[in-house]
A and B are shown apart, each in its own frame.
Chain A
């Protein structure tokens, strides 16, 4: 199982701040996981429609599409950051 966290407008559009799911066969990287998640529901599809405009983290470290994802990981998906 992996935990997926959503923040900011991604969280609002999907309608939840976290979900737990089994890592599907053949999904081993952050980019592939995003593609899989966008197929879960219309809300997911809308929120994740522009993956180039989103950022993410695996185990609390900023991720790139090729960043590996393994069973037990904490993955986060969020818009580009706007702190400071």
Chain B
């Protein structure tokens, strides 16, 4: 039975603590991890993340369950932040724990690829010069998701 942990809020997360929480799982042999950050450049100051409360959590759980059907996982942790985030701050944490590295690493990649296309979040960029712009969906994200 895979242990799924989902959260959507403005709070940050502690990668080491999150990882430590999975180290005691019986049979665990490895944990895949991905941390997504607010990428700077072009005068970007703040990223504002909006989501669809209720649907977001359900969509994230569905993605985690899909990964658990495909790989032999012991745990999945998905933490996604919303609200105002500054350049360099973490946005999203993905952890996948398994007995072996193949499942842990593949599932981690799968989870972040699907989070980008199948969970209702939207990013707005705010620049130092006052410009504001909604981020457009990228075809490469769709392609990465379809590759699974």
Contact = CB atoms under 8 A, between A and B. Distances in A.
Interface residues of B, number: 29
Contacts of A61: 55
A81 B80 CA distance: 14
Nearest to A83: B121
Interface stretch (A2-10, A41-49, A65-73): A2-10
Contacts of A81: 116-122, 137
Interface in B43-98: 49-52, 54-55, 58-59, 80, 91-92
B36 A82 contact: no
A34 interface: no
Interface residues on A, range: 10 to 19
Interface string B2-42: 00000000000000000000000000000000001000000
B124 interface: yes
B120 A57 contact: yes
A79 interface: yes
21 contacts: A7-B120, A8-B134, A9-B134, A62-B118, A78-B120, A79-B122, A79-B136, A80-B137, A81-B116, A81-B117, A81-B120, A82-B116, A82-B122, A83-B80, A83-B115, A83-B119, A83-B121, A83-B122, A84-B36, A84-B119, A84-B141
